Structures are given as structure tokens and as C-alpha cells.
Amino acid sequence: MNKKAVALFALTAALSVSAQLSINPVPQSTDPNSWWQKRFAAKQELVKAGGSEVVFIGDSITDFWESRGKAQWEKYFAGEPFKALNLGYSADRTEHVLWRIDHGELDGYKAKCIVLMIGTNNSGHHPISVETPIDTIEGISQILGRIRQKQPEARTLLCAIFPRGEGPNDPCRMRNEQVNAGIKQLCDGERVIWCDFNQRFLTADGILPKEIMPDRLHPNGQGYEIWAESIIPQIKKCLAAGPFEPRTLRAEGRVRDFLGRMAQKRSQICKNASKEFDVVFVGDSITHNWEGPGKKVFQERFKDYNILNLGYGGDRTQHVIWRLQNGELEGYKAKLFMLMIGTNNGDNPEHIAAGIRKILDIIAQKHPEAKTLLLPIFPRGKDGRDNGRIRNEKVNAIIKGYADNDRVLWCDFNQKYLKDNGELPRELMPDLLHPNHDGYIIWADAVTPFFKEACGK
């Protein structure tokens, strides 16, 4: 996944999910006599007292600054110049942090630096069929949004979720690393600053030693010393920094747009009562635009089909691979996938084709019951001399061989967009890249027979 964002679901029969758990604010306990509510009440008193410019937010790993890391907390953070506030709660997940923030933990005072690490309990508590890395990423994204709303002058040090489990193949460790790869893209280096010092906890071969984390999850004093040493220079920079620059807000907007679409699509999956789609569209802006210039055609031609559109503007093969590996293929069954991707890549045809092959393999692995309708990359540019057109045609010549007329079906209607001399008319693609309404009619006419065959309607 690149700078654009971040740019991570068969649900169990025992659990009916109508929305993403990770973004649904709930308390860990509603019992006023529970330890969790008592801690919340005690922290609220500290919040009301004010005076904390540095705030730590998280789960038990943050909570335990008050026990296993107490000596380091007293040494580095409790007194001047930080007078830090610890808002860590054992076993908390993103949804619990959201509830706490919604109920006042960031109200009534001005922080300059917020140290955030959350998510390991999302990975450890729910199976990936219920909560994917994308869900956890979106939960963390929403926490950052709450921080931006409640503490608009604060900078956030977003810490990579700490390694857990003995080795690099531990399932929770692997899920956390997938989340880390995504949330890193939420950082702009000014308002949200990425802090990844996980390698300091590990041996050269990726083993998490008990000498640093005895239960291979929570640091001991030595581990908290590493954490303190790693973030203190950044905290000092945050405290000394001035107002934000306008470019920061623009960058945040692009990230929010991408994550907003991820959340929208995840919600569509979770709310689908049948947990089945007839057809799933996968691609870039050309596919995304079935919701734009192609919307009327979509509504008229595909009204009988339950369709999930996983097209994202600007995506390249690597972005699709990341999305499909991190949650967008989980939680439902599909009869047919329709795939077109690659026009945004800009690298050599063999690399683009290899990316498309990887996407086909991921779909086959995650959805062995489904077929994939593979489309050639659409023509682009004025005529056959356009470099992008030439590259795309070379890719198409390779990927055509991926179709076996069984699991992968080939549907090439590119010539319908072109004049006899190879020119691409603006009457169909005004920018010589994206179809307009009439261009989507051509697309719908070409693929509808495949939809009918796969879906029986």
C-alpha cells in the first residue's frame, strides 16, 4: 500500500454483525462496579483536573505503565516537563477507546502530544472472519479522527502495534503487522507521526524474547525503558512545535476519502443479510465510476443483481492486492468476480501482468466457489501511438492467457470503443481514459451474458 492511504469476512453463524465492531463505540462493561467503569471514573477526575499536555491512549500495554513500567513512568513521564496522563485500559479494543473519547476523556483541556497504540486486542479477540485488518485500521483511523476533533492543536505519535507471540509466524503478530502497514499510511509526519521501534524488541531472527516481554505480549521494565527512549525525542518535538501547516489538512483529506470508501464497502458487506453477492466488481476508478458516470446504466441494467463494487480511484495492482489480502474478500460468498486493473501502474507490462495474476490467485484462494470474468485493460489515449495504450495492449496480450474458460473467463470488447483507425473517440471517453454514460452501456452489453450465465438470471 502506498501514500494514498492509508491508503485489512465469512461471519460465524453464532454472531450476527450489522456493522463493523471496531468502529462501534461501546464500553467494555456497563456495570458501574466493574473495574473498567471504576477506572474510567477515576481517569475522568484526572481529566477534569487538567494540566496534562502529554496523554497516552491504549490498552493494557499502556495501562501497565502503572505497574510493570511504573519505575520508567515515574522517571520519565509523571513529573515535569510532561505531567503525562495515562488513559490505557486493559483488554481495550478500538471500539472501547472510541466510547471513552466520546464520553469525555479528551474534553476540557489542551494536549500537545498524544501517544496512541491500540489494536492488538482486536487481532487477539476476534477471528479474522469477524474482524479483518481493514476493520482494525478503520477503528484506529476513527480514533485519530476523534483526536483531531477533540484536540485540534495536538500532535499524535501513532505507535506501531507491538510484536506479540514468540516468532514472526504467530497469527496475531502477522495480523498486527498487516494493520501496521495500513495505519502507517495515516501518518503525515506533522499532525500524525509514525513511531515504529518494534525491531528494538526483537532478536535478529524475529524472536520476541521473554527477557523483554515475559508473556510475549506485555513489556517488562526493560521493555518500557525501550519504549520511553524511543518516543521521548518525538514528544519533545511535539511540545516545541508550532501551528499546523495547511498542506497537512489537504493530505488528511485524501487519506479520509480512501478510508471512507473502505469503511463504506466493509459496512455494505456486514449489512448484507444473505452474506452473498451475485457479482463483485474489482478495479480502479474506471470500475469505481459505475457509481458516477455509469450509475444510471448500473441501475437500469443490473437491477436484478446484488453487486458489490470494489473499485477505487487511483488504484494500481498492488493496492488491489493489499485490499484483497486484508479483508475485502472476507465475510461473504460470490458467484462471479469482474476484474479490470492495471492502467494506473505505469511500470513494465510483465510486472503489471504478474500483479493481475496475483489478484486472480487471491480470489481463487478466498472464493473457490466463484468464477472471475477477466477484462482487458481498456484502451486509452488518442490512438495506437499513445504510450499508455501500447503498454496496456502488451499487458492484455499476456493476461489473455490466464483465462481457462472454467474458473477464469475472458471478455474482450475493447474494439467497441475504437474507430476503425484505432482512435478513441471523446464521445465515449471524454478524457481518453474513463467511459461516460455511453461507454458504460457498451460495457454493460458485453458483460451481461456472463452475469446471466453465472447467476442464473
Active site residues: 60, 215, 218
- Report how far residue 256's alpha carbon sits from residue 6's, in angstroms, rounded to the nearest whole number: 8
Closest of 395, 393, 374 to residue 383, by C-alpha:
393
List % helix, strand, coil for the chain (3-state, nearest 5): 45, 10, 40
Q: List phi, psi (to 5°) of 340.
A: -145, 125
Q: Of 338, 216, 324, 243, nearest to 286 (Cα)?
A: 338
- Going by C-beta distance under 8 Å and a sequence separation of 6 or more, which residues neighbour residue 143? 57, 94, 97, 98, 101, 116, 118
User: Is the Cα torsion angle 361, 365, 367, 371 positive or negative in sign?
Assistant: positive
Chain centroid to Cα 167, Å, comes to: 24
In contact, 212 and 202? CB cutoff 8 Å: no
Cis peptide before 81 (omega within 30 of 0): yes
Residues ≥6 apart with Cβ < 8 Å to 379 = 389, 392, 393, 414, 417, 418, 424
Distance (Å) of CA 35 to CA 71, 73, 89, 124, 445: 23, 22, 10, 21, 62
Instruction: Give the residue among 332, 256, 315, 280 at the shortest CA–CA distance from 454.
Output: 280
For 55, the enclosing helix (H) or strand (E) is strand 54-58
Q: How far apart are CA 289 and CA 214, in angstroms?
A: 51
Query: C-alpha angle with apex 421: 418 to 422, nearest 5 degrees?
Result: 40
Place of cell 505505469: 346
Nearest Cα to 290, choosing from 268, 312, 306? 312
DSSP 282: E
3-class state of residue 129 by DSSP: coil
